Amino acid sequence: MTRSLDVRRVLGFLLGLTACGFLSIVETWYALYAVAFVLALPLAGHIHGRWSRRALEALPLVWFLVLMVLGTQLFALLAQAMLAAMACRFILTDNVHDYQGLALIAVFVTVLSAAGSISVAFGLLLLVEFLVATILLIMAQFEGKVPHIGRGFYSAVVVFSLVSFVFAFGVFFALPRWTLGYIKGSPALATQTTGFSKDVTITPGEVLQDNTVVMRVEPQRGGSRLPLPAYISGMRYTTFSGRQWLVAAGRPESLYASSGIDSFVVSDQEPDTLTTVYLEPTGTDVVFGLEHVTGLRGQFQYLRRDAEGSLFTDAPYYKTIRYDVASLDRDTVPVDSAMARRPALLERYLQVPELSQAFLDIAALVVRGSTTADKAGGTRNYLLTNYDYSLNPTATSVEDFVVNQRTGYCEHFATAMVLLLRAQGVHARLVSGFVATEWNNASGYLIVRAKDAHTWVEVLDADNWVRYDPTPSSFQQVSVMTNILDNIRMAWYRNVVTYDLARQVQTASSLGRFFTGSGRAVARAFESFRKLASRLLRDWRVLAGLCAAAALVVLLLRRRVEDRRGRLASALEDLVGERRRPGETLLELVRRAAPSPGVESLVWRVYDVDFAGQRTVEEERAVLRLIRDARRSRAASDPQL
């Protein structure tokens, strides 16, 4: 191979940068390996010493062993070893087999990064890698220096690559999906994206706002826009220790699919809202849904449900997952049938820790009214009116918040309301989850961010749970660009990341309806055209008009060809400085008016273009440029011309 930097070296370098890009989507520091490819670029193909080559061949293995000794996690171990192998192979490239090996390592890096990446950038990098690898493997077939290749070749390769890429995507969508449960992913590969926590504790200190998207909630087909603010519940709590809310006592019961292979019945109540949840890696096993979840459909092995109806997966998920939720999305819902049959269970909603007399005095003053609704509404209004919202509270406990500090965030407000009501004999519990106010108008779905994590209160009024939110609320204003970018991510998640058997069946049904409807429309249009043509062709005036139009088109085309031929002849006459006499050819004109071997050679070029079957637009332009250059040369040598 030549030692000069050629297109193959550049393509191999770009392939290495693409591999670094794939892994940097998982963790950004992998982009530092791009420095290795920058340093390798001037060395590529220049290492020929026996021991130097052997040292480079052994370097990836040595690096792999060093990382093992350092206790590197498996993903990082494989990723760094592959990047090192790719950089060394890039330096040692000397023939077509080396370039094939380089492309093969790039494929392995792509597959590895797919295990830890859900980003839209993965799809863009995949397209770039496909194009670069295709051109590289074609160029590698040349021995020695790559010959000059026109733009048409590269255009053909790009078009072929794009067609192959589209075909590969078609295969991706067509291959059957087997319902074997969600792949949970690895915590080493995922950045947890949620501000939600099972641990609801009242402590002082600043709370940081995080705009990371936690989930997207989409109304199912035919559903209307979700009302805002949307309350997305996660867990319900009954016991407060004085500083921390505790999960329901007892071991959660296991729920298994009741129909088919992925449908779970959670409650015997009829839902009023059907949504699809696209949940980002949360690091928790909590199942989220609008208000009260009554049913769920997803590829889970089983679910767990505690005494308060909170749902949990069999293990935390570190990949984006999609599941369908049936919910009662309203602020008042009936109590569970099991609780209605066992009134003794209600006592847990009156549990309070040891409270100070000052707190009890405030409870007696605030919680007043003849009905439960009056007491709950009055308590909520008292908190909204007399307390301030702050993300940097100083209260050390809920009593300190109620009696002294009077500033806090949602956990302070909700906990205070529950304890004030319980102190006066009103049954209440705490709910944690998210309250979302960001609606994507372009595609019609709800965007839930980490900063939307929230707690609120449910009060037992007769046989119904009624939602009360004592925390001041706010609505999120979203820019158009934010909506556009999130639409792209949503399309990627919907059609690639969470593409499963159910989605495949739905896509096939939609395509079937489309092609059936399109076929009928084409058949109707063809039949209408046939009838119209039959009717028109019976009229002699229409036939005469069609014949005249056809003759006119032929004349225009011939005149266009003659005009193109005339351009070259006219340019040559301008060069000579005279026009042809009647019946005189261009060659005769030149020999009569301006005999010159150079001008005669131009005449033969014109003849080749016009009559020898070699006429192309590029050839015609080339001859015109030659004639104009000759005219400028003559003008420069003889200013009188």
Best mean pLDDT range from 191-200, 210-219, 583-592: 210-219
Mean of pLDDT values over 554-580: 69
Confidence check: pLDDT of 503 > 80:
no
Segments forming the whole domain that contains residue 27: 7-174
Position 113 scores a pLDDT of 82
Cβ–Cβ < 8 Å for 420, 367: yes
Structure tokens at 267: 């409650």
Q: State the Cα–Cα distance between residues 409 and 395, nearest whole angstrom.
A: 10
For the cut 70, the answer to whether the pLDDT of residue 580 exceeds it is yes
Question: Same structural domain for residues 480 and 505?
Answer: no
Residue 381 lies in a domain: no
Q: What is the pLDDT of residues 302-320, one digit of tens each?
A: 888 888 888 998 877 777 7
What is the pLDDT, as a whole number, of residue 423? 94
256 part of a folded domain: yes
Task: Decide if 181 is inside a domain.
Answer: no
Mean pLDDT on 418-440 = 93
pLDDT at 192 over 50: no
pLDDT at 179 over 50: no
Do 13 and 116 fall into the same domain? yes
The predicted pLDDT at position 639 comes to 54
Quick check: 9 pLDDT over 70? yes
Q: Mean pLDDT, the chain, as a whole number?
A: 80
For residue 474, tell me if it sits in a domain.
yes
Q: What is the mean pLDDT of residues 432-436?
A: 92
Domain count for the chain: 4
Above 70 in pLDDT, residue 148?
no
Task: Give the model's pLDDT for residue 336.
Answer: 76
Q: Is the pLDDT of residue 194 over 80?
A: no
Q: Is 606 helix (H, G, I), strand (E, B) or coil?
A: helix
Mean pLDDT of 19-42: 88
Q: Supply the DSSP symbol for 287.
A: -
Whether residue 463 sits in one domain with residue 559: no
Give 196-231 pLDDT, tens digit per residue. 677 788 888 887 778 888 889 999 866 678 888 899
Same domain, yes or no, for 87 and 209? no
- The span from the CA of 87 to the CA of 519, in Å, is 53
Instruction: Say if residue 460 is in the same domain as residue 573.
Output: no
Q: 417 lies in a domain? A: no
Residues 146 and 11 in one domain: yes
pLDDT at 85: 92
Q: How large a percentage of the chain has pLDDT more than 90?
A: 23
Between 318 and 346, the higher pLDDT residue: 346
Q: Specify whether 153 is located in the same domain as 254.
A: no
Give Cα 95 distance to the centre of its chain. Answer: 38
The pLDDT value recorded for residue 366 is: 94
For residues 440 and 524, state if they share a domain: no
Whether 238 and 349 have beta carbons less than 8 Å apart is answered as: yes
Residue type, 266: V
pLDDT for the residue 427: 94
Least confident of 8-17, 280-289, 537-546, 576-585: 537-546
SS3 letters for 209-261? CCCCEEEEEEECCCCCCCCCCEEEEEEEECEECCCEEECCCCCCEEECCCECC
275 shares its domain with 137: no
pLDDT of amino acid 474: 58
| Distance between CA atoms of residues 608 and 516, nearest Å | 54
- 515 in any annotated domain: yes
Please say which residue of 485, 515, 538 terminates a domain. 538
